[in-house]
Structure 1
Amino acid sequence: MKKTLHLWHRYLGLFIAIPLIIISLTGSILVFKEEIDHLIMPELATVNAQPGTRLSYDLLRNKLNQQLTHYEIGSWEVFDDGKTADRVYVIKHGTKDWYKVYLDQYQGIVRSAPVAVDFYLTDWLLDLHYKFLIGDTGLWFTGLASLILMFMGISGLTIYRQFWKKFFTLRLKLKRTVLFSDIHKLVGIWSAPILLVIGFTGVYWNISEIIHHELEHSDEEHHLITGRLYNHDLSLDTMVNTSISQMGGFRPTYILFPYEPELQISLFGEVSDISVVTSEYSSTVNFDKQSGKQLPNYDIREAPLFLAVVDSFRKLHFGYFAGLTSRIIWCIIGLTPLIFAITGTYLWLKRRKPQKHKVAAVHAN
């Protein structure tokens, strides 16, 4: 049994090496996506203002509509930290194509023309990480890679089930094969718990997206945007204020507009008195898109345990639940598949050489 498991561990690792390296490298970079955006394109992603002084939502929406006359707002990422520009995603009239713009929420300036959602470097890396740049088909590949990553972690701990005895074993003075074997095992032992978390959360997201795209919402069903699907006289500020008063401690972080006939206006946000792994989109307040009447809301503090656990997957996957410390750890652990690929491939090649020599000797005789 152990030998069979070892073979599966070895050959699946070789099979998935390159895709896993791509996923791990891009994931480690994306842990610091915000900082990278601020560094390489400060004229778009960065603002300089006093937190709490952003303009009203209604005024900002009017400015967006005035400057983007051939587009409709689909969703809106909201920030009020004084340094991060709002990100607004718009849909071009007559199409189902989404575009991205940056908005200075403190001055009411649309900082960029609409571009494809994967136009900027970190957005391109996100698409590479999430879909391998091949659309929804890529979800199957990244989902498979995440499943294999989980298997590699579990099988590795099973093969070396007395792993606690080698928590610090690294024999530097022996030959390279032994050293690489120790590095492979040692890195695997230390990184396995976090890699299992990353792999499991990734699998869940991929399966959820696949079900959504394949079973619930095929491409042919997308609505082509020709105009606003909601009452444009409704006040966003009123909705935000209602959300704050109805759900204690609510802070809006994301607004979803109806881009299909069956959707309403939804405000996502975070609330007080929550776990450190609860996401910033954990709670929702919905409003009727024509009357503005408040619909039933969703408060993560009152949700079943299962849904609270699922919500935690976002912070657990990207590792930003404990500030800079957890993000650095996640970034470093995310690079370990590269180490596994190098050491594992080297060990596999070294073990094949004696077999080749043996076969050659048999034929010679």
Structure 2
Amino acid sequence: MKKTLHLWHHYLGLVVAIPLIIISLTGSILVFKEEFDHWLMPELAVVEGETGKRLSYDELRAELNNQLQGYEIGSWEVFDDGITADRVYVLKHGTSEWFKVYLDQYQGVVRSEPVAVNHYLTDWLLDLHYKFLIGDTGLWVTGVASLILLFMGISGLIIYRQFWKKFFTLRLKVKRIALFSDIHKLVGIWSAPVLLVIGFTGVYWNISEIIHHELEHGEEHQTVITERLYNHQLSLDKMIAESTQQMGGFRPTYLLFPYEPELQVTFFGEVSNTSFVTSEYASMVTFNKQTGERMPNYDIREAPFFLVAVDSFRKLHFGYFAGLPSRVIWCLIGLTPLIFAITGCYLWLKRRRPKKRAMKVAQPI
């Protein structure tokens, strides 16, 4: 059993090495996506404003509609830290294509022209990390890679089930093959818990996204935007105020507008008195897109355990649940598949050579 598991661990690792390296390296970079955006393009991603001094949502929406004629707002990422610009995703009239702009929420100025959602470097890396730049087909690739990562983490712990005995074992004054073997095992032992979390959450998201696309978009039907699909006279500020009143402590972080006929106006956000792994999009308030009447809201504090656990996947996957320390750890762990690939391939090649030599010796002359 152990030998069979070791073979599966070994060969699956070789097969999926390159995809896992790509996913892991891009993931390590994306842990600090905001910082990279601020550094690479401060003229777009960085604003200068005092926290709490945002313009009203109605004012900002009016400016967006005025400065982006020919486009409709689809979704809107909200920031109020005095540093990060809002990110708004829009659809071009006559198409179903999404574009991205940066909005200075303190001055009411659109900082950029609409560009493809993977136009900027970190957005391109996100697309590479998530879909390998090949659209929905990439979901299957990353899904399989995440599933194999999960298997390798579990199988590695089973193969080296007495791992606690070598928790700090690294022999330096030995042959290279023994050193690489120790490095492979030691890195695997230390990184396994985090890699299992990352692998499991990645598998769940990919499977969920694949099911969503197959069930809801299986016929490749996409709505072409030609006009606003909601009552533009509705006040966003009034709806947000009602959301805060109905769900104490609610703070909007993501606004979703109807870009398909069946969608309503929805605000995602965070509330007080939640777990440290509860995401900033955990709760939701929805309003009728024509009348503005509030529909049943979703408060994460009243949700069943399963949904609370699923919501925690966001912070657990990207590692920002404990601030900078957890992000640094997640970033470093993201580099371990590169170490596994180097050491694993070296061990595989070294162990194959003696077998080949033995076969040549055994051949009759």
Instruction: Note whether the superposition's TM-score is higher than 0.5.
Output: yes
Using the TM superposition, give the Cα deviation of residue 286 of structure 1 relative to its aligned residue in structure 2, in angstroms.
Answer: 0.4
User: Cα deviation per residue 1:93-125 (whole Å; 9 max; x = unaligned)?
Assistant: 011100000000000000000000000000000
Using the TM superposition, give the Cα deviation of residue 216 of structure 1 relative to its aligned residue in structure 2, in angstroms.
Answer: 2.0
Cα distance between partner residues in 2 of 1:200 and 1:19: 16
Give the aligned partner of residue 148 of structure 2: 148
Cα distance between partner residues in 1 of 2:342 and 2:132: 22
Give the aligned partner of residue 183 of structure 1: 183
Cα distance between partner residues in 1 of 2:68 and 2:116: 15
TM-score, normalised via structure 2 length? 0.99
Which aligned pairs between 1:226-237 and structure 2 lie closer than 5 A?
226-237=226-237
User: Cα deviation per residue 1:190-238 (whole Å; 9 max; x = unaligned)?
Assistant: 0001000000000000001000111222363221100100000000000
TM-score, normalised via structure 1 length? 0.99
User: Cα deviation per residue 1:148-185 (whole Å; 9 max; x = unaligned)?
Assistant: 00000000000000000000000000000000000000
Cα distance between partner residues in 1 of 2:280 and 2:78: 11
Using the TM superposition, give the Cα deviation of residue 46 of structure 1 relative to its aligned residue in structure 2, in angstroms.
Answer: 0.4
Cα distance between partner residues in 2 of 1:291 and 1:193: 49
Give the aligned partner of residue 299 of structure 2: 299
Cα distance between partner residues in 2 of 1:250 and 1:276: 16
1:201 and 2:187 aligned: no
Secondary structure in structure 1 of the residue aligned to 2:220: helix
Using the TM superposition, give the Cα deviation of residue 364 of structure 1 relative to its aligned residue in structure 2, in angstroms.
Answer: 5.3
Cα distance between partner residues in 2 of 1:324 and 1:189: 23
Cα distance between partner residues in 2 of 1:279 and 1:273: 12
Give the letter aligned to residue 251 of structure 1: R
Give the letter aligned to residue 104 of structure 1: D
1:238 and 2:225 aligned: no
Give the aligned partner of residue 192 of structure 2: 192
Q: Which moved more, 1:355-364 or 1:120-129?
A: 355-364
1:158 and 2:158 aligned: yes
Using the TM superposition, give the Cα deviation of residue 359 of structure 1 relative to its aligned residue in structure 2, in angstroms.
Answer: 1.3
Give the aligned partner of residue 354 of structure 1: 354
Cα distance between partner residues in 1 of 2:97 and 2:181: 49
Q: Which moved more, 1:200-209 or 1:354-363?
A: 354-363
Give the letter aligned to residue 90 of structure 1: V
Using the TM superposition, give the Cα deviation of residue 32 of structure 1 relative to its aligned residue in structure 2, in angstroms.
Answer: 0.1
Give the aligned partner of residue 248 of structure 1: 248
Give the aligned partner of residue 336 of structure 2: 336
Cα distance between partner residues in 2 of 1:126 and 1:364: 56
Q: In structure 2, do the counterparts of structure 1 residues 40 and 219 end up closer, same or farther at CA, with 3 Å as the change threshold?
A: farther
Cα distance between partner residues in 2 of 1:201 and 1:360: 47
Using the TM superposition, give the Cα deviation of residue 361 of structure 1 relative to its aligned residue in structure 2, in angstroms.
Answer: 1.4
Secondary structure in structure 2 of the residue aligned to 1:221: coil
Give the letter aligned to residue 246 of structure 2: Q
Q: In structure 2, do the counterparts of structure 1 residues 246 and 70 end up closer, same or farther at CA, with 3 Å as the change threshold?
A: same
Cα distance between partner residues in 1 of 2:101 and 2:216: 29
User: Cα deviation per residue 1:68-114 (whole Å; 9 max; x = unaligned)?
Assistant: 11100000000000000000000000111000000000000000000
Give the aligned partner of residue 93 of structure 2: 93
Using the TM superposition, give the Cα deviation of residue 48 of structure 1 relative to its aligned residue in structure 2, in angstroms.
Answer: 1.1
Cα distance between partner residues in 2 of 1:251 and 1:215: 32
1:3 and 2:9 aligned: no
RMSD of aligned residue pairs (Cα, Å):
0.7
1:112 and 2:149 aligned: no
Give the aligned partner of residue 138 of structure 2: 138
Which aligned pairs between 1:77-92 and structure 2 lie closer than 5 A?
77-92=77-92
Secondary structure in structure 2 of the residue aligned to 1:76: strand
Cα distance between partner residues in 2 of 1:199 and 1:12: 15
Percent identity between the two aligned chains: 78
Give the letter aligned to residue 336 of structure 1: T
1:212 and 2:181 aligned: no
Cα distance between partner residues in 2 of 1:266 and 1:231: 14
Q: In structure 2, do the counterparts of structure 1 residues 219 and 28 end up closer, same or farther at CA, with 3 Å as the change threshold?
A: farther
Cα distance between partner residues in 2 of 1:175 and 1:301: 56
1:128 and 2:128 aligned: yes
Give the aligned partner of residue 168 of structure 1: 168
